[in-house]
Structure 1
């Protein structure tokens, strides 16, 4: 009896192994390109393995090698049938295989077994095995399909999809964006069908196709292959829908009525309303129609979509005196053509447009009576553009494949208003008394026009050499920006009114005259030209199956960046940036259920085009300061408005940030500058519990090296305080070589080197005596995390995913932007304006200690489904910024506050104390989304889906960001420090109705 029980246990275990794909251990490297997937596995040696897409007729066949290994690279994502045969006889049973984006599906086909075996309600077939864990992958990534999104309460945007991945969060600044693994929002890359659509001007944003045009997303959070680069954050990779042999059509309508939105809260501080938002509303409608099918059966297919959008938001200004009613009525479209020239050659053309036009009508508004007066302005904005790429895929031999791609990505940004010729923008801090009428007659703060065009080409190759899978390629893009910008109004000035105290020292070093409690900054900011950047890279990768259970991934990428000035000359040029990547995956038990994986990699970040424009484009940034003499009430079109009355000028005109000319670039750029790069280490474990459940844990460590930023070199080793160079793009804390004054006669005459870790900043006493030099600290940023994830796959009944990330993000520099001070000029931060700004190390703005994410779907019956998505996020650090430092500078946003003798004009008599990073935190946030979906098969081909989703169901409107200015002038404590400024969006409802024919 004991032997019988033992045999039964062995049979049960063996059948379960087959059920979840565990019985055949041998596998090959299984990397996939950025637009498709692959199928690999093992069968009988010499067998012919055939994969076929039933929808398009695409058929490919290969011959298994002497060990029975086979591989199908570069397969378009979709569902396939796989079968094996030898000598005209089938080997095993045909298998249905799902090919997903960027992944490999491992299928082992053995001897034909006949009737499937029934085991505990699970149907198993011993002839084929599909592994439950991808034991060939060394990266951390999350795949989200169109079908999954239809079952979940996920808003219709790429950013919302990316936020489903562990460790991905919204940025903590007013300019938005998403943060991957502690990186800033300006370090990510976005692709659609292999086309890079990342905003290269400021690197915060991307071009978006109509959301219903996407088929699948892959969110890469670490360890990605050498074919991906130009990012120290994360990668969002998407592919679009395609046509098949079946004619299909459909429509989808999305409604977000204003009545389904919870009222935003007005915000009060010291009893006064400082943010007026309770009257803000919007209505959004979208309707798309699509058609797809064969142009020539089994050969030529099309997919086409058009989406009409209506978006009509209305928003008040913070004082509640101006109402802007916007109207967007744009048509977005997407199209895809697939030509299967034959089974070994494919050609596809993808195109989409996200061009959008908006008109904002501006009215005077009475918050108390909820009434608007006559329209006094109109603001026009054009964004987006057309995008396309052409991709050719070829199976040159059974072991050698090629993919070629060329494409174009456009992004336009053009904002202007009717009032631009006659109205200057005016703003005030809340501590300055309000005039009782609107400030200025313009709600626009800039007149700017920009068109960014990326021309991209790449070639990718894959060569199967037995135990070695070799992948290599070349990627090249030319990114050009045509740019014009200035402030509106006479003289193109922007007036800002700040509260202060008599005798206080303001940011240009001037002293506020007696009797004045506020001052005005009149700023001109103008730039224009055409600017180009060329990025290129080679990569080589070997995926070596050292043993049947152990894969070693060895890769090398060489990047080159060339940012050019308006005259076409190289401004910042770097090449031979070698990025090694080393990864491994160990199929621990040799059965495909459990793997240990790891990855070491280096990643380089390119310089954004905004640097070319503002540092090498003749930037005029002129700031003049005046005492504030009250308001002058004027009239425009029957509407009163207030302008500041300028008192006596305070200090000198400051044009140190740009005097309108392109200087000698040799004096503005470090000749031997190093690039910005990040090193990353990942170690992880993943296990399949059964055919549905899996779990994993991983640890990640990231360290950012270098920064490219502007720093003011005011002293040199040769000439001391007389060796002023000016603002230089360089690596702070490193040796900087620029063209300057070597013989101390006041004229640049040769190359000089300044070790900015020790020198470069001239210090003076109150009498102007030179005291010596000081250097900068090197930038540093580290991120360490532990990630735990549990997943249950959808089985037509329910699905569930949960993740927890514990992380620490420390350093003295967030990255190329400053979230905590809301500064989004990528690469021109305040971090290194003087040596004392970056003295403080601590927790950085994107540090969230705890991140919980839960999502799932449950099918009540075949017609009804419910879904939920819950995110719990701990708060981000708050820093109390001061002005000035214990030495000689009066720079805004310093890590010192004056506590004694602050009005003393002799700076060394003042007493400062440190104000470290992250001494307080914003509160935890909770965001729950819920959905109910009704499904009805109208007929065999007509399927109706109705989904009602509610986002932020509990209507949490917690604080996301606060005023971090503890002092706005030396010793002048700000009354609005810690004032909440950014909040969770209120609850809103969304109804989506789709019908497929």
Structure 2
């Protein structure tokens, strides 16, 4: 792995601390008794410095502490006040004159000191609740994560955020040590209201071995807690609909509207009430809050003929209870419920007259669930500490509508609607799927710290049971979903059939049904040695051993990978010996588990049946006073395709590589940090990441033993490697044993056309096999950062990231084709899908500028701003065919001549590589806010007016990247076949945009 220069986050660097607390480390006189007291809670910890004067307080809850030293009962020096922040180690030397980095020596208030943690090899950004109160940052965890360098928004319709070039499905999210990441498809997480959190830490690289199951980034949050002081407050957030700028309607080159957005409107009111205080002074504390949220967005569909008015019933509650049982033992309970019920009332809508018809449907959606974590922390001896945690994370997703029994869903792409716009709504329902999923994670972990002279040993165990109870099918008679596509007569469609003469469009009638309960068990052991080699040099030597066990509905293991050894090696050099200048580096390996969606779709009896018909016009009907159109089915085209799932669970030995390797990524970081003064610091950091392996579905259509007669089918495996599956070893047509296919060289049957038979069907002769390319992804970045700590007057953080994200595989999802079925992308379905697919990947943002800060105009008035500027991602023109066979997946080839031939060998193609069609535009997002603060006896009144996207930028963030959607020639006005391939008329048509400007007013009273 390569090393480069770069920046570790200077806001507050990470360190070797627990994932929901921090630590204090330093030097004192040998044998001195060191005491740390949290005045707010009375929590008192006492340890003895070793023979070299080193001391360490691990597992300290975040907050302010008074630290003092004594020898033989006599005080040594003056007590010092320090702030412990999430995931960080605060260095404090006692019993001597303050050094340049002792907190007591630097007159900076507000706990904003940019202290450099010389024990840390991680890259992280810490953001406190106090900082967020000053800044115009929208009230969600994603907005906090985007403050960190190298973190960008995903550019697909399914959203998400990308860390360091990884896809949006590779991140992890924690609250008080509880993993709340969506394990079904890894796109999302369980989230609490902003007011529930105390601090956030965004880990962008080099994180400790206690964190795993991610090849992206980690967002680590800790909830607020109670103290000895009785406190409370009320916060009201208002986002009225008329404070939202309207989105723009979008029109094609012919002036036809293809996205209707100008009539969309959002409105939000949140009331948050909280209280905290002692149940028993110095012993038992509680923090509790309740948030009522009224959300009523309304939106039209793209054609502008239906309008959905939503109303959400959200009542969040959350609490933390802290019990300081003794000075050496503490127990904490964190719990919250984010259950939400939304009802969408669907109406027929007339855009031109802005009139609404009668109610036509109701869509119901239930999300969220209850979450809790119980944590026991114990100082077992002066040198040995322990933390035990058990928790539960729930996520529900239940969607259904009143018309699920009687109405099928109908959808037509833009090219089709340009030919056959019915002028009314497509279908009689706007709900495509009856969907019910309950995800439950049961998590247990044990973490230990043991100080042995110059060595700090950290070790532990982490275990999860992730269970998905799942049911899904399409709405309507027969449970069919109708997709409509434009295609010339003679065009070969995905099932190999050909559009008949006299037709210019076809229908795909799809059935998709599956249900069952599926569990994945993930476990890991880790050990780490933080070795103080010299007073100025720390080595971090760690290793993590992960195992993943994906099970079918009967509880049988079918994807099981263990002994995933993830070494981590880091160093931190305090170059001047005073904590003001640090050189650090990190080498590490990180593994990614298989999402539960794979258990369900492969081991759950998936029925994915696709039948194709010619489009024979519209059938107009009326329901609830609303006219709608459904397609008339013409002649069936080709055979029914159920190759993706026929409703049964096959022999999983033939569907999963027996020796499959996990997805993993190697990372190298080298960085430098320096304090310029008591308030200013700067740094530079370089990062290099390389993804190894992918797990995806591949259709193995031939084997070395039996050629084309050795067809195996769809297999979850590592493309481009040797795959061992159950198959036909003696070529008698019956699977009888394991065989190995080197998919780098073989596995896909190749044919030559030898004329046609009497029925004009092609005569294809088997000529051999072809293999797959190996997946590749690299990320290289240089980050610069400048930080100015808050001093009750002003603060500022600026960063610039220049990066390169290249390869042929984004990860387990495809942003450029808007495909979020995690782990089942098209990339490796056959060898031709990804042939020639090297280039800049969808999350490549060459340049990122981030600037945030706050300024106190007077003691009562503050200004805040947050600016995010980023260059756009690459635009690729995807084809659907290739020069080698008739498969019509996305590809990097475009047919340019003789495209109507049913024989691929007769067609003429040219390459269409990644990024050939330039880049999306730069995006500029400026948030601004002004805050009025009025203290009063025992409390504070605060009002903040924040405007997001102040300049109302609506730049394009996503375009249609399908350059050629079917194989067929252009027919001229005289009906002659030109021989030139038909291109997609909506290619590069904008599909996604920056969110329009909106204004948020937050009023709070705290006492």
TM-score by length of 1: 0.95
- 2:114 touches 2:789 (CA, 8 Å); kept in 1? no
Matched, 1:346 2:343: no
Give the alignment partner of residue 669 of structure 1, picking from 628, 649, 656. Answer: 656
Give the alignment partner of residue 399 of structure 1, picking from 369, 380, 383. Answer: 383
- 2:108 touches 2:679 (CA, 8 Å); kept in 1? no
2:680 match:
693
1:933 match:
931
Q: Aligned runs of 1:18-37 on 2, under 5 Å?
A: 31-37=16-22
Matched, 1:802 2:798: yes
1:24 match:
none
Give a deviation string over 1:76-102, Cα, whole Å, max 9, x none: 000111111223332221111000000
**Cα distance in 2 for residues equivalent to 1:459 and 1:274:** 54
Give a deviation string over 1:569-609, Cα, whole Å, max 9, x none: 11100001000000000011111111100000000000000
CA gap 1:591/1:112 in 2 versus in 1, 3 angstroms:
closer
1:295 match:
279
Give a deviation string over 1:17-72, Cα, whole Å, max 9, x none: xxxxxxxxxxxx96211010000101122211111001001111111122211111
Matched, 1:702 2:689: yes
3-state SS of the aligned residue for 1:973?
A: coil
**Cα distance in 2 for residues equivalent to 1:173 and 1:587:** 43
- 2:182 touches 2:190 (CA, 8 Å); kept in 1? yes
Matched, 1:996 2:1006: yes
Give a deviation string over 1:479-499, Cα, whole Å, max 9, x none: 000000000000000001100
**Cα distance in 2 for residues equivalent to 1:853 and 1:635:** 53
Give a deviation string over 1:527-581, Cα, whole Å, max 9, x none: 1000000000000000001100000000010000000011111110000100000
The alpha carbon displacement at 1:124 in A equals 10
**Cα distance in 2 for residues equivalent to 1:132 and 1:570:** 48
Give the alignment partner of residue 262 of structure 1, picking from 245, 249, 252. Answer: 245
1:782 match:
778
**Cα distance in 2 for residues equivalent to 1:594 and 1:412:** 48
2:92 match:
107
**Cα distance in 1 for residues equivalent to 2:815 and 2:719:** 20
**Cα distance in 2 for residues equivalent to 1:352 and 1:912:** 57
1:4 match:
none
Give a deviation string over 1:230-262, Cα, whole Å, max 9, x none: 000000000000000111111110000011111
3-state SS of the aligned residue for 1:148?
A: helix
CA gap 1:931/1:123 in 2 versus in 1, 3 angstroms:
closer
2:71 match:
86
Matched, 1:45 2:25: no
Give a deviation string over 1:758-780, Cα, whole Å, max 9, x none: 00000122322112100000001
- 2:619 touches 2:630 (CA, 8 Å); kept in 1? yes
The alpha carbon displacement at 1:104 in A equals 0.3
Q: Aligned runs of 1:57-206 on 2, under 5 Å?
A: 57-111=42-96, 132-206=115-189
CA gap 1:37/1:421 in 2 versus in 1, 3 angstroms:
same
Matched, 1:760 2:747: yes
**Cα distance in 1 for residues equivalent to 2:674 and 2:29:** 27
The alpha carbon displacement at 1:122 in A equals 6.9
- 1:531 touches 1:568 (CA, 8 Å); kept in 2? yes
CA gap 1:756/1:123 in 2 versus in 1, 3 angstroms:
closer
2:585 match:
598
**Cα distance in 1 for residues equivalent to 2:786 and 2:857:** 23
Greater relative contact order, per chain length (Cα 8 Å cut-off, separation 6+): 2
Coordinate RMSD, CA, aligned: 1.6
The alpha carbon displacement at 1:682 in A equals 0.3
TM-score by length of 2: 0.94
3-state SS of the aligned residue for 1:768?
A: strand
1:822 match:
818
CA gap 1:112/1:714 in 2 versus in 1, 3 angstroms:
closer
Give the alignment partner of residue 290 of structure 2, picking from 290, 306, 319. Answer: 306
Give a deviation string over 1:85-140, Cα, whole Å, max 9, x none: 223332221111000000000001233799x99x9x97599xxxx99311111010
Matched, 1:891 2:901: no
Matched, 1:985 2:970: no
Aligned length: 962
Give the alignment partner of residue 340 of structure 2, picking from 343, 356, 376. Answer: 356
3-state SS of the aligned residue for 2:638?
A: coil
- 2:15 touches 2:87 (CA, 8 Å); kept in 1? no
CA gap 1:864/1:174 in 2 versus in 1, 3 angstroms:
same
Matched, 1:536 2:498: no
- 2:114 touches 2:787 (CA, 8 Å); kept in 1? no
3-state SS of the aligned residue for 2:790?
A: coil
2:532 match:
545
2:373 match:
389
Matched, 1:513 2:513: no
3-state SS of the aligned residue for 2:710?
A: coil
Give a deviation string over 1:653-702, Cα, whole Å, max 9, x none: 11111110000000000001000000000000000001110001000000
The alpha carbon displacement at 1:938 in A equals 2.4
2:922 match:
924
3-state SS of the aligned residue for 1:882?
A: coil
**Cα distance in 2 for residues equivalent to 1:653 and 1:894:** 23
Runs of 4+ in 1 over 4 A off after TM superposition: 121-125
- 1:210 touches 1:333 (CA, 8 Å); kept in 2? no
3-state SS of the aligned residue for 1:921?
A: coil
Matched, 1:945 2:942: yes
Matched, 1:867 2:855: no
**Cα distance in 1 for residues equivalent to 2:98 and 2:660:** 65
2:315 match:
331
- 2:459 touches 2:528 (CA, 8 Å); kept in 1? yes
3-state SS of the aligned residue for 1:743?
A: coil
1:834 match:
830
**Cα distance in 2 for residues equivalent to 1:633 and 1:113:** 83
Give the alignment partner of residue 852 of structure 1, picking from 831, 849, 854. Answer: 849
**Cα distance in 2 for residues equivalent to 1:366 and 1:663:** 49
**Cα distance in 2 for residues equivalent to 1:618 and 1:88:** 72
- 2:114 touches 2:680 (CA, 8 Å); kept in 1? no
Give the alignment partner of residue 235 of structure 2, picking from 233, 249, 252. Answer: 252
CA gap 1:525/1:851 in 2 versus in 1, 3 angstroms:
same
3-state SS of the aligned residue for 1:160?
A: helix
3-state SS of the aligned residue for 1:787?
A: strand
- 1:412 touches 1:450 (CA, 8 Å); kept in 2? yes
3-state SS of the aligned residue for 1:309?
A: strand
**Cα distance in 2 for residues equivalent to 1:373 and 1:86:** 83
3-state SS of the aligned residue for 1:666?
A: helix
Matched, 1:965 2:950: no
Matched, 1:975 2:975: no
**Cα distance in 1 for residues equivalent to 2:307 and 2:191:** 29
3-state SS of the aligned residue for 1:227?
A: coil
2:8 match:
none
Matched, 1:273 2:268: no
Q: Aligned runs of 1:672-683 on 2, under 5 Å?
A: 672-683=659-670
Give the alignment partner of residue 266 of structure 2, picking from 275, 282, 293. Answer: 282
3-state SS of the aligned residue for 1:420?
A: coil
Q: Aligned runs of 1:607-686 on 2, under 5 Å?
A: 607-686=594-673
Unmatched tracts of structure 1, length 5 or more: 1-28
- 1:91 touches 1:112 (CA, 8 Å); kept in 2? no
3-state SS of the aligned residue for 1:894?
A: coil
**Cα distance in 1 for residues equivalent to 2:559 and 2:546:** 14
Give the alignment partner of residue 765 of structure 2, picking from 741, 766, 769. Answer: 769
